[in-house]
Structure 1
Amino acid sequence: MKQFLFSAMLASALAAGPAAPAAAAAINAIGVENEYADVISQIGGTYVRVQSIESDPNTDPHTFEASPKIAQQIAAAQLIVENGVGYDSWADKIMSASQRPNRKVINVQKLLGLPDDTPNPHLWYDPKTMPAVAKAVADELSGLQPAQAAYFKANADKFVASLQPWNDAIAAFKAKHDKTPIAATEPVANYLLEAMGFDILTPFSLQKAIMDGTDPSPQDVTTQNDLFANKKVKVFAYNQQVTDALTKSFLDASKKAGIPVVGVYETMPAPGYNYQSWMMAEVAALEKAVTNGVSTESLQKGH
């Protein structure tokens, strides 16, 4: 689904071997996407040193290319959390080329028991995902530092409990606004939109084409434009990280029709967010769009 180029520099970096490991007191961990890195940090606290690879809210993760520095980071990591569903398969290639004894890898797709052909890889927007990730992270960290197992488990329990306001907000929105029609550029936030009860009217074939970087059919483009021109939707979920002339034309059409826009993201927008506040901000923005017609096109200026 996603193509990544590996340079000769990357090969030489792998040949050079892993970077120096972290101090013994800290577990060296990577969340390939920064939302997963944030969860590792919340669970591991002072006992982990966490890095994220994909973290820039202004870039398209679909065009990500690994570098020698990233290869060294992954080679040195004791715990890695990756998304799966082909979204970050480049990381698997680096791990295969840089074997590390006892490296712990949490593939979120596999953790959730999802098939390889799962059509929507943006798993972090699903309310079921991060509780499972938090518990798995606590288990793996406990294996690496058994003396801190109770600490890791307590942090995981605290994290899961902290998601309750988000789940409550989702349920409250669905109770008030079930079946609200919405358009999207691609299925980034679809798991959340579905949980909130939205009726996603954009053809999935169009969303997938934009996600995969291919041309959608003229019929799908016509359908999407009709949603705006005839005000068939109440809000437009716009992926701020994968944009081109076509998605911008949809953005212009939604604005011309007076349809509020809510920005959605593939990596956690900065500054000032953690996973919980990011998800709460998305729900709040969607509610403001539906109830007051207010756009929240960008979440990058804080929350």
Structure 2
Amino acid sequence: MRIKKLVAAGIAAAAVATALAGCSQASSASTSGGSGKIVVVGAENEYSDVAAQIGGKYVSAKAIMSDPNTDPHTFEASASVAKELSTAQLVVQNGVGYDDFMAKLEAASPNKNRTVIVAQKVLGLPDSTENPHLWYDPTTMPAVAKTIAADLGKIQPSHKSYFTSQLAAFDASLKTWTDQLATFKQSHANTPVAVTEPVADYMLQAAGIDIKTPWSLQAAIMNDTDPSPQDSATQDAFFTGKSIKVFLYNQQVTDSITSHFLSLAHSSGIPVVGVYETMPTGYTYQKWMEAELTALQNAITSGQSTEKL
């Protein structure tokens, strides 16, 4: 696989089938989760959070990937995950190869009442899209949220106006982040930074940041392969030469290579910002994005590191 992400956990079809044993007989009676609420499952908790905000009191939302303190690449299917998915009326996932395990789980647990939203398809992105971390792109969640509201309205037509109202409130709440991005770009455009993986690249690009790290190095680390000696030397020089203002790294996934860059940042006095693939505890999606941007601004303006949110 091109992307090491969640697919790299090695979820074989046989393992999925085992995890789903006894769960594939989801009855149509489960369509309201036994409580009158629409059962929604997000592959990643940032998507389930948005679904919960749109669905409000008429939705019960859960996430398969929800622990920001663990490596998301080590996910493995389980009976509990299978059970959650078997009763879901609406599933929201990322696509672009990031969470391909979802297709296996869905195929092994068919449910005629289930609607699946894939962010990649909502955005019209090709499979060849290099960076799968779509939730950091400011254009992603408004489009996904709009689709969620529409599909919830189809599942419970009597509450369609409620979902539309919730969508409007969600869109309005994103304005703080998007306004911050615009202001940041005016003040700090072309600020040079280094990264490990392209986790937050979409946000950095929207903020006008100059990402110095070669894409080939980012892709190598993302795909769990060793970067070339040339790329590693280029990256090292950013720290020793102090030609970057901030170092951003994937706080959830570290190895000897990323630890080396982190050590260089510390010894060179380069402020560090940790970014996440799984939404940290205590945040909504929009507050998470605001916090990451604030951490970046603090690093640039005052040299403050925020390695953990």
Normalised-by-shorter TM-score class: over 0.9
Amino acid at match of 2:294: A
Structure 2 CA distance, aligned partners of 1:58 and 1:260? 21
Amino acid at match of 1:103: R
In the alignment of these two chains, the number of paired residues is 298
Q: Deviations over 1:34-58 (max 9, x none)?
A: 0001001000011111110111112
Structure 2 CA distance, aligned partners of 1:18 and 1:260? 52
Q: Corresponding residue for 2:293?
A: 283
* Residue aligned with 2:20, SS: helix
The 5 A counterparts of 1:202-281 are: 202-270=213-281, 272-281=282-291
Q: Is the 8 A contact 1:18 1:72 kept in 2?
A: no
> Is residue 115 from structure 1 mapped to residue 126 from structure 2 by the alignment?
yes
Query: What is the CA-CA distance between 1:198 and the residue it aligns to?
Result: 0.5
Q: TM-score, normalised by structure 2?
A: 0.94
Structure 2 CA distance, aligned partners of 1:9 and 1:88? 16
The 5 A counterparts of 1:123-272 are: 123-270=134-281, 272=282
> Is residue 297 from structure 1 mapped to residue 303 from structure 2 by the alignment?
no
Q: TM-score, normalised by structure 1?
A: 0.95
Query: What is the CA-CA distance between 1:71 and the residue it aligns to?
Result: 1.4
Query: What is the CA-CA distance between 1:263 and the residue it aligns to?
Result: 0.7
Range that drifts further, 17-26 or 109-118: 17-26
Structure 2 CA distance, aligned partners of 1:10 and 1:19? 16
Amino acid at match of 2:20: L
Amino acid at match of 2:106: M
Q: Corresponding residue for 1:94?
A: 105
Q: Corresponding residue for 1:11?
A: 17
Q: Is the 8 A contact 1:262 1:298 kept in 2?
A: yes
Which ranges of 4 or more aligned residues in structure 1 deviate by more than 3 Å? Answer: 6-10
Structure 1 CA distance, aligned partners of 2:224 and 2:25? 34
Can you give the 5+ residue segments of structure 1 that lack an aligned partner in the other structure? none
Structure 2 CA distance, aligned partners of 1:13 and 1:62? 18
Q: Is the 8 A contact 1:6 1:66 kept in 2?
A: no
Q: Percent identity?
A: 56
Structure 1 CA distance, aligned partners of 2:259 and 2:80? 34
Q: Corresponding residue for 1:26?
A: 37
Q: Is the 8 A contact 1:19 1:73 kept in 2?
A: no
Amino acid at match of 1:11: A
Q: Is the 8 A contact 2:54 2:149 kept in 1?
A: yes
> Is residue 66 from structure 1 mapped to residue 72 from structure 2 by the alignment?
no
Query: What is the CA-CA distance between 1:161 and the residue it aligns to?
Result: 0.7
Structure 2 CA distance, aligned partners of 1:283 and 1:5? 34
Q: Is the 8 A contact 1:173 1:196 kept in 2?
A: yes
Amino acid at match of 2:39: N
Q: Is the 8 A contact 2:16 2:104 kept in 1?
A: no
Range that drifts further, 46-55 or 10-19: 10-19
Q: Corresponding residue for 1:48?
A: 59
Give the counterpart of 1:39 among 26, 38, 50.
Answer: 50
Q: Is the 8 A contact 1:19 1:76 kept in 2?
A: yes
* Residue aligned with 1:187, SS: coil
Structure 1 CA distance, aligned partners of 2:239 and 2:44? 32
Query: What is the CA-CA distance between 1:65 and the residue it aligns to?
Result: 1.4
